């Protein structure tokens, strides 16, 4: 029996590390989500939950880049999300012609991401000098400024919020953006910039002395992270069709933090697991009413005590690791065996 | 032209003078030791060369280029690499990634190419990975390539730190107390090892050390620091008999 | 002129509440280098304790204050023992996340038990005096006087007593001090007790000054107090007091000259600017990087 499972596991590993795994997975998932939403295979409630799962994965993976991989502590992720949400919504409601919205929607989402990443660039600057707690405060203050700034702009509804968006966020779009964000952040992590990000977490001074341009790396991490937070915000706004500044306050940021640290820091698989578990658990526990909100933080505390790095902390599922990295050491050994005098 | 020239370098921390009017010249291929009692300012000299601190006064030239005011990674890219007194590896990264991180300055692919895993990214990453493994195999660390650095035994961590420094392709290598925590036998091995990397990688080396045996054994020239000031310079044999040095440094040890 | 004097008085009142809460943040940070994000919610719990005592036991002011402080202090120590202590060796971030979790728990637990905002009955006969044309209420005087005296007592404890010396020693060095026979666990619990007790007192005073209390009241006030601690230089007891008064003053001034909705915006923007130019706060010192 144990052999049976081992066999399956090995097969899965072989399949999941195959070079066509990702393209096939992407095509199949996209096809499924298009079919599912077009022919009502999944009921609307289930679709909505899947949409939230996707959005939360984007938020979690992107925050994990800064908090898990880089080891900084950003508590203002909801602020970037808000900027993306408002930018995209303003574009689809006030700027883009109503007839072409379906085609221009991706553009609105990208614009939301770009707007958020421009702000991310500004938040990256204090990170040159300060780290840890003080950077946490900077991001916190930033989140608060965004929220109370939005509340004071009457044109976009002030504290009452902004509405009028069409329901443009569909399952296929969410799937597309989720896979894209996971893929791009995975790519970043397994590159020289990703190693720079990790080495900053481990020892910033040593990293700088090992030729890592720490400022450049920090800017890239913050910009990419906030870009995808903005994307998630845009998708969120067009799924809910209504936004107000309070949706993006510190509680939202805490939610994202919980997903990151539940799933596990510095792990893409962990981010996905964290986002999925948290989103679904919140839905399942809905009948508990307010007590669900009592239970969730309690679980978080227990998790931190017994598994402080989260479920996947610092580990990665094999199929997120590029083949080159997965096989590097193995191939090297083989090469040396074939030509034993090469290393001598 | 000297490889490294430090002219009238002074460095103060909030009024405390850590290095005072320090002058130093180094020619290509030399192996020079900096010795001195604890707190004499030896590591500060390394920090000034590598740009961790910015000298309060004076200038440092490397191959004729001014180093003061440059950032550490710029200086590393110009060909200065170092190790640390208390090992500073990237503990939670693998041995291979520790070394690959140090190729940051050499890889030329852009952030966009990295995000999409395209173009130069593929070519250069393959090259970097191969070269890192090659370097590790020279140090006989290739079998531990996928271990986390923190799980290596102490001696190998020291070795890995040197390997990581060499990955930046330096002309000048600064070793900060490489023999700390080693027994006489290991020190003997380390001496051979330093001599060997010096020849293999054609390095110029500055060495900070407390272990007299090591310093006297391999250094061609010594600089003695005390309270941030140079009190003697010269051949190991001369230093050994210099009364000032005996008083400030060796005298202390003899008294123990 | 009168208007400004009046506003200064308001600023002192708000500032002293911020300062009391900020002390809790700063003391815990000083001793554990951990930001206790649940502290704002302990402040809220303080207000609710006060409400319960005032409504059901109907005690006068001083016993209510004592009981509130004692209750919150016990809760603080309990949280420290159960949630934070197991994490002392863990990465610092997990402790911060745990604190955020504890805070959420306190908020939602209170909300589950008491879904509607509550009014704290007035515990003191409210008198007002006119000096010139400035109105001073007895409540204002009591809040300011009480806060200042609690702060002075704390300053005395930290600077002059043996326990205070142990606190300062632990915040200075965490490896050597335990070897010197300092009972680290006891001192840490004591720090939590004092810090959260002061937070509880602040909760009560806030509840008396702005009588409507609700389970989420601790979030904003808690963050503001945290900012005060940072502005003063986190880990520094006197800095926390100064920071509290500065933030109180800034907020009242902004509310006096702009629409009051700009208050948070300006407060946080000022914080950001300060952090860029003096990231270690007013009384804090930059910790030199060691290589």
Which residues of chain C neighbour A133 with C-beta distances below 8 Å? 29, 35, 234
B250 confidence band (pLDDT: 50, 70, 90): low
pLDDT confidence of residue B249: 63
3-state secondary structure of A166: coil
CA distance A108 to A231: 9
Chains that touch B (3 or more CB pairs under 8 A): A, C
Residue A7 in domain: no
C291/B13 Cβ within 8 A: no
Which residues in chain C have their CB less than 8 angstroms from residue B52's CB? 289, 291
Tell whether the model's pLDDT for residue B187 goes beyond 50.
yes
Are B52 and C288 a contacting pair at CB < 8 A? Answer: no
B-chain CB neighbours of A184 within 8 Å are: 115-116
| Cβ(B36)–Cβ(B235) below 8 Å | no
Region A212-223: what's the mean pLDDT? 96
Q: What pLDDT is recorded for position A344?
A: 39
- Whether residues B96 and A199 touch (CB distance < 8 A) is answered with no
Decide if pLDDT at A238 tops 60.
Answer: yes
Question: Would you list the DSSP string of chain B?
Answer: --SEEEEEEEEEETTEEEEEEEEEEE-TT-EEEEE-STTSSHHHHHHHHHTSS--SEEEEEETTEE-TT--HHHHHHHTEEE--SS----TTSBHHHHHHHTTTTT----HHHHHHT-THHHHHHHHHHHHHHHHHHHTT-GGGTTSBGGGS-HHHHHHHHHHHHHTT--SEEEEESTTTT--HHHHHHHHHHHHHHHHHTT-EEEEE-S-HHHHHHH-SEEEEEETTEEEEEE-HHHHHH-HHHIIIIIHHHHH-
Identify whether A14 is part of a domain.
Answer: no
- Chain B residues whose beta carbon lies within 8 Å of the beta carbon of residue A210: 73, 76, 101-102, 104, 164-165, 167-168
Looking up residue A199, the CATH number of its domain turns out to be 1.10.3470
Higher pLDDT, B213 or C12: C12
> With respect to CATH, is domain B1-79+170-256 assigned 2.40.50.140?
no
Would the pLDDT of A343 be above 50? Answer: no
Which residues of C, range 14-53, sit inside 8 Å of A by Cβ?
Answer: 29, 35
Instruction: Please give the tally of structural domains in chain A.
Output: 1
Residue ranges of domains in chain C: 2-277
**Percent of chain A clearing pLDDT 70 (strictly above):** 96
Q: What is the pLDDT of residues B222-243, one digit of tens each?
A: 999 888 888 888 898 888 888 8
Rounded to whole angstroms, how far apart are CA atoms B183 and C163?
A: 44
* CA–CA dist A148, C254 (Å, integer): 14
Q: What is the pLDDT of residues A303-333, one digit of tens each?
A: 888 887 888 887 888 778 887 787 777 777 7
Residues of A in contact with B106 (CB under 8 A): 211
Distance from CA of B46 to the nearest CA of C (A): 10
Residue B24 has pLDDT above 80, yes or no: yes
**pLDDT interval class at B255 (50, 70, 90):** very low
Say if residue A300's pLDDT is above 60.
yes
Q: Does B52 contact C291 at a Cβ distance shorter than 8 Å?
A: yes
Of C91, C102, C271, nearest to A308 by CB-CB distance is: C91
CATH code of the region C2-277: 1.10.3470
Average pLDDT score, chain A: 88
Q: What is the DSSP string of A88-142?
A: HHHIIIIIS-GGGHHHHHHHHHHHHHHHHHHHHHHHHTHHHH--HHHHHHHHHHH
Is there a contact between B73 and A208 if contact means CB atoms under 8 Å apart?
yes
Verify whether the Cβ–Cβ distance C291 to B47 is below 8 Å: yes
A-B CB pairs within 8 A amount to: 128
Q: How close, in Å, is residue C278 to chain A by CA atoms?
A: 10
Percent over 70 (pLDDT), chain B: 97
Assess if residue A8 is contained within a domain.
Answer: no
Nearest CA in chain B to A184: B115
Domain coverage including residue A256: 22-326
CA closest to B105 among chain A residues: A211
A141 in contact with chain C, both atoms CB, cutoff 8 A: yes
Question: What does the pLDDT look like over C251-261, one tens digit per residue?
Answer: 888 887 888 77
Could you tell me the residue ranges of all domains in chain B? 1-79+170-256, 90-168
Distance CA(B248)–CA(B40), nearest Å, equals 10
Whether the predicted pLDDT of A174 surpasses 80:
yes
- Which residue, chain included where needed, has tokens 């997965």? A326
Three-class SS state of C23: helix
Q: How far A240 CA lies from chain B's nearest CA (Å)?
A: 30
Give which of C199, C152, C143 is closest to C21, Cα–Cα: C199
Residues near C201 by beta carbon (within 8 Å), at least 6 away in sequence = C20, C46, C65, C68, C69, C146, C147, C150
Tokens matching residue C117: 């905002």
More confident residue, A80 or C163: A80
- Range of lowest pLDDT (A85-89, A117-121, B168-172, C265-269): C265-269
Q: Does A103 touch chain B (CB under 8 A)?
A: no
CB C26 within 8 A of CB C228: no
Cβ contact B84–C288 (<8 Å)? no
ipTM, two decimals, is: 0.91
C264 vs A253: CA distance, rounded Å: 18
Read off the pLDDT band of A60 (50, 70, 90): very high
Question: A1 pLDDT exceeds 70?
Answer: no
Model confidence band, residue B6 (pLDDT cutoffs 50, 70, 90): very high
* Interface touch B88/A206, C-beta < 8 Å: yes
pLDDT less than 70: residues of chain C: 285-291
Q: B86: nearest CA in chain C? A: C291
Looking at the predicted structure, is the pLDDT value of residue A338 above 80? no
Q: Judge whether B57 and A173 are in contact, CB under 8 Å.
A: no
């Amino acid at each position: 029996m144990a052999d049976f499972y081992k066999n399956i596991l090995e097969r899965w590993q072989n399949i999941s590390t195959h070079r066509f795994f990702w393209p096939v997975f992407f095509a199949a998932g996209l096809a499924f989500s298009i079919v599912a939403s077009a022919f009502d295979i999944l009921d609307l409630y289930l679709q909505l939950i899947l949409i939230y799962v996707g959005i939360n994965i984007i938020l979690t993976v992107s925050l994990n880049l800064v908090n898990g991989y880089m080891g900084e502590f950003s508590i203002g992720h909801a602020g970037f999300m808000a900027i993306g949400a408002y930018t995209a919504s303003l574009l689809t409601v006030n700027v883009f012609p109503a007839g072409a919205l379906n085609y221009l929607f991706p553009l609105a989402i990208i614009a939301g991401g770009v707007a958020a990443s421009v702000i991310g660039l500004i938040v990256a600057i204090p990170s040159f000098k300060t780290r840890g707690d003080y950077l946490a405060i900077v991001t916190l203050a930033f989140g608060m400024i965004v929220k109370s700034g939005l509340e004071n702009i009457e044109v976009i509804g002030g504290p009452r919020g902004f509405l009028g968006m069409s329901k443009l966020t569909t399952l296929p779009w969410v799937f597309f953006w989720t896979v894209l964000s996971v893929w791009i952040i995975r790519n970043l992590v397994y590159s020289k910039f990703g190693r720079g990000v990790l080495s900053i977490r481990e020892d910033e001074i040593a990293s700088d002395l090992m030729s890592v341009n720490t400022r450049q790396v920090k800017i890239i991490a913050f910009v990419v992270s906030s870009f995808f937070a903005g994307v998630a915000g845009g998708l969120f706004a067009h799924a809910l069709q209504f936004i107000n500044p309070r949706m993006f306050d510190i509680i939202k940021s805490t939610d994202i933090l919980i997903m990151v640290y539940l799933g596990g820091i510095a792990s893409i698989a962990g981010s996905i697991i964290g986002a999925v578990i948290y989103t679904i658990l919140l839905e399942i526990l809905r009948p508990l009413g307010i007590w669900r909100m009592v239970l969730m933080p309690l679980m978080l505390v227990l998790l931190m005590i017994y598994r402080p790095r989260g479920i996947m902390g610092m580990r990665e599922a094999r199929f997120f690791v590029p083949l080159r990295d997965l096989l590097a050491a193995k191939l090297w050994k083989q090469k040396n065996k074939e030509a034993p005098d090469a290393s001598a | 032209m000297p490889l490294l020239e430090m002219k009238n370098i002074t460095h103060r921390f909030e009024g405390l003078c850590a290095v005072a009017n320090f002058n130093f010249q180094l020619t290509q291929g030399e192996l020079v030791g900096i010795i001195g009692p604890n707190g004499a300012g030896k590591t500060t000299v390394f920090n000034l060369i590598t740009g961790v601190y910015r000298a309060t006064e004076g200038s440092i030239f490397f191959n004729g280029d001014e180093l003061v005011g440059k950032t550490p990674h710029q200086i590393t890219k110009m060909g200065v690499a170092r190790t640390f007194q208390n090992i500073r590896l990237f503990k939670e990264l693998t041995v291979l990634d520790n070394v690959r991180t140090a190729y940051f300055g050499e890889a030329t692919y852009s952030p966009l190419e990295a995000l999409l895993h395209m173009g130069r990214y593929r070519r250069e990453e393959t090259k970097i990975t191969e070269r890192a493994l090659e370097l590790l195999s020279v140090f006989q660390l290739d079998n531990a390539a996928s271990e986390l650095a923190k799980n290596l035994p102490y001696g190998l961590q020291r070795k890995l730190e040197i390997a990581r420094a060499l990955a930046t392709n330096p002309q000048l290598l600064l070793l900060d107390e490489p023999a700390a925590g080693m027994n006489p036998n290991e020190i003997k091995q380390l001496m051979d090892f330093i001599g060997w990397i010096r020849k293999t990688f054609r390095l110029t080396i500055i060495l900070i050390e407390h272990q007299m045996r090591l310093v006297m054994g391999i250094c061609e020239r010594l600089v003695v620091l005390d309270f941030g000031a140079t009190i003697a310079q010269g051949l190991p044999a001369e230093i050994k008999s210099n009364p000032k040095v005996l008083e400030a440094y060796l005298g202390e040890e003899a008294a123990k | 002129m009168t208007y400004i004097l009046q506003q200064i008085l308001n600023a002192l009142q708000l500032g002293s509440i911020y300062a009391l809460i900020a002390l809790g943040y700063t003391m815990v940070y000083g001793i554990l280098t951990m930001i206790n994000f649940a502290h704002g919610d302990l402040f809220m719990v303080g207000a609710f304790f006060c409400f319960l005592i005032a409504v059901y036991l109907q005690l006068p002011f001083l016993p209510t204050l004592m009981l509130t402080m004692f209750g919150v202090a016990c809760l603080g120590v309990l949280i420290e023992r159960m949630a934070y202590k197991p994490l002392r060796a863990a990465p610092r971030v997990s402790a911060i996340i745990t604190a955020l979790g504890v805070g959420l728990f306190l908020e939602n637990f209170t909300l589950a038990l008491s879904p509607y905002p509550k009014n704290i009955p007035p515990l003191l006969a409210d008198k007002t005096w006119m000096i010139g044309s400035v109105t001073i209420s007895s409540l204002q005087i009591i809040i300011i006087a009480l806060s200042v005296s609690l702060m002075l007592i704390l300053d005395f404890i930290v600077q002059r007593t043996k326990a205070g010396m142990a606190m300062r020693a632990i915040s200075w060095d965490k490896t050597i001090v335990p070897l010197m026979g300092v009972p680290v666990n006891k001192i840490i619990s004591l720090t939590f007790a004092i810090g959260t007790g002061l937070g509880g007192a602040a909760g009560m005073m806030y509840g008396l000054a702005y009588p409507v209390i609700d389970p989420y009241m601790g979030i904003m006030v808690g963050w503001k107090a945290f900012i005060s601690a940072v502005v003063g230089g986190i880990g520094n007891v006197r800095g926390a007091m100064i920071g509290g008064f500065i933030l109180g003053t800034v907020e009242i001034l902004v509310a006096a000259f702009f629409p009051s909705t700009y208050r948070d915006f300006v407060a946080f923007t000022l914080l950001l600017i300060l952090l860029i130019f003096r990231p270690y706060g007013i009384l804090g010192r930059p910790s030199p990087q060691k290589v």
